[in-house]
Structure 1
Amino acid sequence: MRRRLREFRTDPHAEIWLYPCGMAAIAAVWRALRQHDPSDPSVQFGFPYVDTLKLQQRFAPADVRFYPVGDPADLQQLAELLRTQKIASVFCESTTNPLLTSLDLQSLRQLADAHGFLLVIDDTLAACINHDVLPFADVVVTSLTKYFSGYGDVLAGSVTLNPASRYADWLRAALADNFEELLIDADVEILEQNSRDVRMRVETMNRNANQLAQWLTTQPEVETVYHPSLDAKRFDWMNAHSTDHNGGLLSIVLKNPAVTTPAVFDHLEICKGPNLGTNFTLCCPYTILAHFTELDFVEQCGVSRWLLRISVGIEPIRELQTRFEHAFRSAGSLRDASKLVTG
Structure 2
Amino acid sequence: MNNFERFQTFVLQQSAAKDGAISPPIIGSAAFSYGDPKSAEAVFAGESRKPLYARMGNPTNAKLETLLAGIDQGDGAVVTSSGMGAIAAVVSAFLQSGDEIVCVGGLFGGTYAFFTQNLPRFGIKVRFFKADEEVVLSPQTKMIFCESVGNPSLTVVNFVKLGKLAQKHGILFVVDNTITPLLFEPFSWGADIIVYSTTKVISGQSQALGGAIIYKEPRKDLFIHFPFLQNFYENLGKDAIMGVIKKRALRDFGMSMQAHAAYLTILGLETLPLRIQKATDNAQKLFLALKDKVKVLYAKNEQYFPFGTGQMMGIDFKSKEDAFTFLEHAKIPFITANIGDSRTLALHMRSTIYRDFKANELEYLGVSEGLVRISVGLENCAMIIEDFENALRKVQ
TM-score (norm 1): 0.84
* Alpha-carbon shift at residue 164 of structure 1 (Å): 4.2
Greater C-alpha radius of gyration:
2
Name 1:321's counterpart in structure 2.
Answer: 385
Provide the C-alpha distance between the structure 2 equivalents of 1:56 and 1:331, rounded to a whole number of angstroms. 37
Provide the C-alpha distance between the structure 2 equivalents of 1:2 and 1:62, rounded to a whole number of angstroms. 29
Name 2:374's counterpart in structure 1.
Answer: 310
Provide the C-alpha distance between the structure 1 equivalents of 2:363 and 2:200, rounded to a whole number of angstroms. 28
Name 2:282's counterpart in structure 1.
Answer: 208
Secondary structure in 2 matching 1:124? coil
Secondary structure in 2 matching 1:27? helix
Secondary structure in 1 matching 2:274? helix
* Bigger share in helix: 1
* Alpha-carbon shift at residue 9 of structure 1 (Å): 1.6
* Alpha-carbon shift at residue 235 of structure 1 (Å): 4.9
Provide the C-alpha distance between the structure 1 equivalents of 2:219 and 2:340, rounded to a whole number of angstroms. 29
In the alignment, structure 1 residue 55 sits paired with structure 2 residue 135: no
1:204-257 residue CA offsets vs partner (Å, 9 max, x unmatched): 0010000001111021xx1x22112xx3xx251332xx3xx3200001102x32
Letter in 2 for 1:130: L
Name 2:303's counterpart in structure 1.
Answer: 236
| Aligned residues of 1:295 and 1:305 also touching (Cα < 8 A) | no
Secondary structure in 2 matching 1:237? coil
Provide the C-alpha distance between the structure 1 equivalents of 2:262 and 2:320, rounded to a whole number of angstroms. 43
* Alpha-carbon shift at residue 279 of structure 1 (Å): 0.5
Letter in 1 for 2:164: Q
In the alignment, structure 1 residue 162 sits paired with structure 2 residue 216: yes
Name 1:337's counterpart in structure 2.
Answer: none
Secondary structure in 2 matching 1:149? coil
Provide the C-alpha distance between the structure 1 equivalents of 2:105 and 2:164, rounded to a whole number of angstroms. 17
Name 1:98's counterpart in structure 2.
Answer: 152
| Aligned residues of 1:288 and 1:295 also touching (Cα < 8 A) | no
Name 1:217's counterpart in structure 2.
Answer: 291
Unmatched segments (≥5 aa) in structure 2: 1-63, 223-228, 233-240
* Alpha-carbon shift at residue 144 of structure 1 (Å): 0.6
In the alignment, structure 1 residue 24 sits paired with structure 2 residue 98: no
1:19-74 residue CA offsets vs partner (Å, 9 max, x unmatched): 1111101000010122xx4312211111201122222222221421111x211xx1
Q: How does 1:66-85 map to 2 (within 5 A)?
A: 66-67=128-129, 69-71=130-132, 74=133, 76=134, 78=135, 81-82=136-137, 85=139
| Aligned residues of 1:120 and 1:137 also touching (Cα < 8 A) | yes
Distance 1:173 1:10, change over 3 A: closer
Letter in 2 for 1:7: G
Letter in 1 for 2:92: R
Q: 2:246 aligns with which of 159, 173, 176?
A: 176
Q: 1:296 aligns with which of 344, 347, 359?
A: 359
Name 2:76's counterpart in structure 1.
Answer: 15
Secondary structure in 2 matching 1:91? strand
Unmatched segments (≥5 aa) in structure 1: 333-343
Name 1:33's counterpart in structure 2.
Answer: 94
* Alpha-carbon shift at residue 331 of structure 1 (Å): 2.7
TM-score (norm 2): 0.73
The number of residues matched between the two structures is: 307
